[in-house]
Structure 1
Amino acid sequence: MKGFLWENSARKKVSSCGLRVQCCLRCLPAAKPLPNLFLLHLLLFSISALFSTQRCRTMIKLFKVKEKQREQAENASGGPPVKKQSAGELRLHKDISELNLPTSCVIRFPNGKDDLMNFEVSIQPDDGYYMGGTFLFTFQVSPIYPHEAPKVKCKTKVYHPNIDLEGNVCLNILREDWKPVLNINTVIYGLYHLFTEPNYEDPLNHEAAAVLRENPKLFESNVRRAMAGGYVGQTFFTRCM
């Protein structure tokens, strides 16, 4: 083709630490020599490619050295070693900072601010069978949270189809329906919903579930008796009103 050089190609391969740079020059005007500035840029790029991998490795080593020096300086100051937060702690801190709970739900940290992974939530339903009662739950959060659901126990003995007498809670999002996109706010609302809408179809306390299904009036009477402090059948319940 007149005026163009179709096969004037310069291929240069530079290999270092598995890195390869290829430059192919095509369709350059035949009448003009290759610009010196372009050749200079090409040369500089090739040289920088030779050392890029080694430079990255050096930077990583420097970061590690600086981190170690920082830890040694903190330890030498006489204070306790700084504990690094796990991914679960960081996510939990975010969840807690974004809590949006009704006034009937209160969260507490009995071990202080240094132990966010273990906390308590008290729920005071303002509707339904359990209105007027106060129910305490403990949360134990795993270091791999949110990839594992928090472990929740009810510390208040309650006459409830979905909570057994040992405090185990039957809530689907704490079991098979848990997903990492869920959070502590979701769990607390789920617990609150158990008190406003108890479910006899998925029970832990089968006796309470049967009464709720067959005789809701008797179920309501049993709940009030248990919350006031007294016996329901052979089981004694401590007052929680």
Structure 2
Amino acid sequence: MKSLGVVALTCLSFSSICAHKNTQKKQAEDAEKRAAAAVKASGQEGPQKSAGEIRLAKDLAELKLEKGMSIKFPNGKNDLMYFQIEIKPSENYWQGGRFTFTFKIPDSYPHEPPKVLCDQIVYHPNLDTKGNICLNVLREDWSPVQTVTSVIFGLLFLFIDPNASDPLNSEAAKDLMQSTSNFKSNVRKAMMGGIINGVRFTKVI
């Protein structure tokens, strides 16, 4: 039987979690209201805009990319829900490469995370050959207070500090853990469009 102290601590922990979630929800709702007010004030409000589009427009207006990063809208800026981010790492294994990530934003954003794929086949522990990405902010760490900025900088961080302990490409992860020099050699080979373990990688330099 639990002591009263343990029960009280459990209840307190549960209350703290609930309070944190309620705070996150309120912050997200406030952000959406501010975004809607900004769109209305600019005279660009229209019936075709979803709540997700309004919130995304605010997030993109506040986005500040690091050097070596750029954004483009293949369908023009009338379609904000589909865009691409290019990252050119300036350090570590992938330095000198160009990597493009395609973002598709659901209408339910920010209550659901963006759908993101890497356009190239990259030798990386956290990217598979289909372009899927192992990034916590796109999975369990997503919440309505997160933004596309969180995702974009999460992608940049994958090139700075790859996570071999939570891989999508287990062979690349094993390579990194066993020999950083061999991993570096394989990354360069892949970036040149080489073949590793029967897979041809995309030339990105």
What SS does the corresponding residue of 1:176 show, helix, strand or coil? Answer: coil
Unaligned runs of 5+ in 1: 1-81
Unaligned runs of 5+ in 2: 1-45
Alpha-carbon distance in 2 for matches of 1:186, 1:119: 15
What's 1:87 paired with?
51
Q: How does 1:97-108 map to 2 (within 5 A)?
A: 97-108=61-72
One-letter amino acid of the structure 2 residue matched with residue 212 of structure 1: L
- The structure that is helix-richer by fraction is 2
Does residue 143 of the first structure (1) align with residue 140 of the second (2)? no
Does residue 129 of the first structure (1) align with residue 129 of the second (2)? no
Question: How big is each residue's C-alpha offset from its partner over 1:138-193, in whole Å with a ceiling of 9 and x where there is no partner?
Answer: 00101110010000000111000000000000000000000111111111000000
CA root-mean-square deviation:
0.9
What's 1:153 paired with?
117
What's 2:136 paired with?
172
TM-score by length of structure 1 reads 0.65
Does residue 237 of the first structure (1) align with residue 201 of the second (2)? yes
TM-score by length of structure 2 reads 0.76
Cα displacement (A) at 1:236:
0.9
What's 1:63 paired with?
none
- The structure that is strand-richer by fraction is 1
What SS does the corresponding residue of 1:173 show, helix, strand or coil? Answer: helix
Alpha-carbon distance in 2 for matches of 1:136, 1:113: 18
One-letter amino acid of the structure 2 residue matched with residue 119 of structure 1: F
One-letter amino acid of the structure 2 residue matched with residue 176 of structure 1: E
One-letter amino acid of the structure 1 residue matched with residue 142 of structure 2: W
Which one scores higher on RCO, CA 8 angstroms, separation ≥ 6? 2
Aligned length: 160
One-letter amino acid of the structure 1 residue matched with residue 124 of structure 2: H
One-letter amino acid of the structure 2 residue matched with residue 202 of structure 1: D
Specify the structure having the higher radius of gyration (Cα): 1
Question: How big is each residue's C-alpha offset from its partner over 1:94-125, in whole Å with a ceiling of 9 and x where there is no partner?
Answer: 00100011021111000012211011001000
What SS does the corresponding residue of 2:159 show, helix, strand or coil? Answer: helix
Cα displacement (A) at 1:83:
4.2
Percent sequence identity over matched residues? 52
Question: How big is each residue's C-alpha offset from its partner over 1:51-95, in whole Å with a ceiling of 9 and x where there is no partner?
Answer: xxxxxxxxxxxxxxxxxxxxxxxxxxxxxxx64211100000000
